[in-house]
Structure 1
Amino acid sequence: MFRGLVRAEAGMRRAMLVIFVALATFTAALVGGFFHATRTADEAIRAGERQLLENQIEVTVRGLMDTQTLQVTWDDAMRNAGQGHRIDPTWTDTYFGTFLTETLGANAIYLIDPQGELLRSWEGGNSGRPSRYRALVPQVRAALRIVDSDTSLSGRPVTYRQLTDARWPFGADGRPLRRRYGGLIDHHGRPALMTVITVLPDSHFELLRQRPNLLVTVRDIDPALLARIGGATLLTDLRLERGPPASTRRNAMAMVDGNDRELGWLTWQPHVVGPLLLVRTAPLLAGYILFYCLVLAIGAVGIREAIRVSRELAASEARAQHIALHDSLLGLPNRTHVMQRLTALLEECRDSGEQVVLAYFDLDRFKAINETVGHHVGDDVLVQVAERLRRTLRPGDVLGRLASDEFVLVRRGADGRTCADELGAELMALFAEPFMVFGQTVAITVSCGISWGPEQAADAKAVLRNADVALFEAKAKGRARYRRFTAELDATIRWRRDIEGELRRAIACDHLAMAYQPIINLADGSIAGFEALVRWHHPERGDISPGTFVPVAEQSGLMPELGEWVLRRVFADSHDFGLAEISINLSPLQLVTRDFVGTLRRLIGEECVDPSRFSFEITEGVLLDRSQRVLDLLAELQDMGFRVALDDFGTGYSSLAYLRTFQFDRIKIDRSFVQGIESDIDAQSILRAIVALGRTLRMKVVAEGVETLLQQQLVHAAGCQYVQGYLYWRALTPEQVIGLLATDKVRSYRLAV
């Protein structure tokens, strides 16, 4: 008994020791956490003060622009200083130089034309020296590029009206919108606020006939302005310094211009709360430590603590088990859990005669959603998809998530084929209704492959593999549909996957080739350029059509690699083609990849080519959603010097809307409008209408697929300037192109717009 008592006492001592160590550790963590919390609070206050100061500077800039707007949005201002170089010096000196200097406290005011050339200047209300403006020219022109991009308008543009030299945005009330800019600049070695606002009429809008002049106002950040900003933000001792403060006791914010160039630092005395909290809570902290010292004398606390720890461990084990078998984002069973449930269901149905149907589906083009608008939007889409799927589950169904956007739904049924069709139709109907994502309606479709067992496969891995094969076929058939697994389908998918692997090797080993079909100028029969076409001669399968391997590349994610290979080869071949223009087809999947522009710039530098020699042909698939990102990307390609053509024009239902959305350099009439044109009067009328539309929109028009002389004559009669087709040449090898360009019959001609 004594030994038992000793063992119990030793156990109690060990328990008390454990409790003491645990409480001491907890107390140390609490004290450390308190100091960390005070530091965190002080840093949060400092960050809030910096944000407050940044906001106040923006408010100050807007105030300068609003005050300046009252003076420049005026019919008299438009007549005396608004357009061209006909400036009334007396009027501008009074209403711009004197009035705005006194009203805004501006250090310098400049009246400039739309190109940034100085028309008149004032400093301190008097006429300024033009030489003082020269130092600001780079910063002013950088601001003009932002002004001309319409990213900072005074309202939402509803329409654009054509001036003599530009298109100008107008609002819903019929008034021209102001183009303006405000920000920080370096003004002769000192940080300053600069605003740029267009001169516009306020009632007689017919005065706006050409791009208007602009008024530039510069306000140095001097002690008076700092005092006003400090008073508005309640920041103590606000100073302007060259660099960051040497003492960490002062809060600071760097002032940078639009190019992230450091102009100076604003420093001030922050309102910290850490020391005050430390003084006021020190007695409480001491009492807390004393309290826990007293608690150590009570043995029952140790027992309860042990029980609590035991319970927490049990709960933690249960959570770990749940996490191991469920998806963390959606709470759905993961692959491991799904395979366990599927195996159990197959065993249950082995003797009952029932079938276990598995639908394997994923979201179409989900990767593009993540890349274009961000993973947070993609996660919100997945959450809504899971919620919608849960509402349709039947008792006994298993819904799981295998990967990013890949889901499975398992259901028991008497007949596998019938249950598969019902489940597939149910899933397609489930995604027919669009989703609401961050206030915007987004249409999302799924591709689905369905298999069942034990009839088609006896084990869970085989059932899932068969469903994956059917899913691949659904994607190959155009997505937004479901397909049942069949033995024939398995063989077809294996062939496609073989092609995918061989295409991957062909790209890596440079086994593809380029061909070039001439584009003919009907005016004189000269070659206006070439269309680049990729070719693949397989050593065993022979020639494989682009219509076969390009879709495989798009479905398997190889399109970026194939597109980069084509661009590099065309750029390299172009060095031997003189000044001939070359058209390159861009896949929608290639264009929307995140690093497309970066890859393009790198290839331009590596191959040393002139972008103005190349045209990118895109199909309507690129513009299906007409998102601002796609339109900005096409505009960026034009800014780089490339031309952009709309290929296969007329085959989609919204071609005219695309022409209204983006200013293409050229439209290419689909060959379906040319084939059979000899006997189709309606086709001839449509062709003439397309050509007339292209001319009206100042776009070149190319007709492809011209194979007979009569087709060529009818296309020419319709007014089409350029054609290509077998009537002239089939696609040529680079060597044949070089030989063709070397003949005396071919003249150098460019499809210039």
Structure 2
Amino acid sequence: MTRRFKTHAFPTRLIALIATATALALLSVVLVARQAVREVDADAFAHQRAFVERAVQTEAERIPVEQRASTHWDDAVLRSRANDQDWMDDNLGLWMQEFYGHDRSYVLGPDDRPIYGAVEGRRLDPAIPIRLDGRLAELASRLRALIAETQAAEEDAAEAVAELSFGSTVLLEGQPVLVSITPIMPDSDGVTQAAGEEYLHVAVQYLDDTLARRIGEADSLRDAAFVREAPEGEAKLALHDAGGAPLVWFTWTPDQPGLRLVQTMKPVVTLFGLFCLGLFVALVVRLWFSARYLQRSEAEARYLASHDALAGLPNRMHFEERLAEALPAARAGGARMALISVDLDHFKKVNDTLGHAAGDELIRQVSSRMLAQVRRSDTVARLGGDEFGIILIGMAEGEALATFCAGLVHLLSLPYQLQAGLVQVSASIGVATAEEVGGGVEALQRAADAALYRAKLDGRSRFCIFTEAMDDGLRRRHAIERDLRLALAAGDQFDVHYQPILDRDGSLFAAEALLRWPGAPGGPVSPELFIGVAEESGMIEELGLWVLREACAFAQQMALPKISVNVSAVQLRSARFTADVLAVLQSTGLPPQRLELELTERCALDSGAATHRNLKDLRAAGVMIALDDFATGHSLLQYVRDFDIDVIKIDQSFVSRLGSVDGTDQVVRALVDLGHAMGLEIIAEGVETEAQREALIGIGCHIFQGYLLGRPLSREAFRGAGFPQAGERPA
């Protein structure tokens, strides 16, 4: 009897012990969760408050920077002196309000009397004297005093005066506003500015609901507003006037993600916890080891995918991801950023003389030296071959940046002790800063490459920091963008040429539409150049639609079997692209089955939903999709699989090497066999000799495009060429 009692008592005591331990654990979890919720909510509020402080400060600092874009300018001085109201509208008043969102703009003469005014998008009548609010006049007087003090302290103070500004929060006609006043100064020695005779520019930004919403939307702040009376609670930030008195408060409803999550998940967590409690003990050990294994495997795979195995550094993909993260942060007022391109001088000579093993060892030692030179906040990557890249965070000032680059050039030029012997190489470095270069990641990379090119041009083993004057190509790009906009507006500078695509019998299989710009102001511009500019500047959709309309109309007039039109990855991302294409087909009467849209494999296509939807809808309508430059870009099969390709075009780089001993014939044969196996049409590009054509026929490719068969022709020349279509050629 006693033994039976003990046999049942032990499991009971064990169950009770487990139940007690579980209850205590659950209670601990509840208490910890409650504290965690409070801390999460507190952290969220601290984040929001820090964001608000930065955002308000950024707004105040933004205005004088925007002013100097137009006030530090010879024309601004001359036009202000001439009281040119229309010019001031276009550059100092209405334009600033439209472009930057300012609410009021004034230009003050040397006597601080307003000679120009624009309020809320409307110019004030210059015939009626403009009354300047006393608070604005007081700020102008303070700036005058600051200008006079600067001029007295420096012999040539023009540049220092141009950088001066005076701003404050004031109450203007009952409305709290941000005010910034800057002097209007020349930017060259061609215009003389007498001391004390400076004109002033006044910019006013209302502290209203519009600004509050803009600040709030940047961090999803709810109920963001500016109020005059001090509100209750902690979610507020006071803005003070020049005397330090609070003038207006920015308020918002603080986010409480912790509390919100608890309220949302409470029923589900309760039921799920009860269900999982019985499984927890049995599964915890297994899950723990499985999770650890998966963590290690995932970390290893992630590291291998984003790092260069030889150098042990991030690879190009990882580097570009970091650059895409750092650049917007720098643009938004964060830490300054510099991009550095590094190229080893005469690295190929080491490979050729000592072998690839020595070259690999040199790459590893270079990587180690570069890592030792940067900080934890910076990024060093091997971009390929002997190319390296560095992202410097918080070191974009001229002197510090130059010192760093000079030290890096010296460090990388020191001798390297390899197993094959002592070698010495140097490094050329190009630098571009986010502050000096506009545009996105590609523009910054181009600027760094331009600076690297100049460093090599100047003799190698040196660094060069990018300047606008250095890059003729960049200036050329800006000129092309300007002329391209004018050409699109004019509508008569472009032309479309057509290159025939023939089958093995010489019959016309299709024609490819090729855009030309013969009417460019500086003479014809290469399509590769101006089409790239159109893509970067957002004009490619309008330009591409014009080409599509011209090509479809020509194909219908000429009864072409098929017309091939190149499209950009930018166009494919547009939600209205399919509708535009179908509208063109309807207006020209061309059947969808006679239209072929060419994608270029060299340009990475966006695999997003919009691109897939457009291609799917177009193929459903009967339009064919071709992949140009096949096997020269990012992937041989990925695009064919992902984008439902109908036609592949073998690039001329393969065709031109047919008959050589480098294995090109076998590669082309493999591409043709692959295309046939996948049921694709195959076209060979760049066919220039009869031998190439015969070789392709032998391989199994029967459709050709190239100078042997016909160069790109104008509409009239193509019409007069009389290419026979299938069934027209005599037997």
Structure 1 and Structure 2 fold alike (TM over 0.5): no
| TM-score for the superposition, normalised by structure 1 | 0.40
| TM-score for the superposition, normalised by structure 2 | 0.41
Larger Rg computed on CA atoms: 1
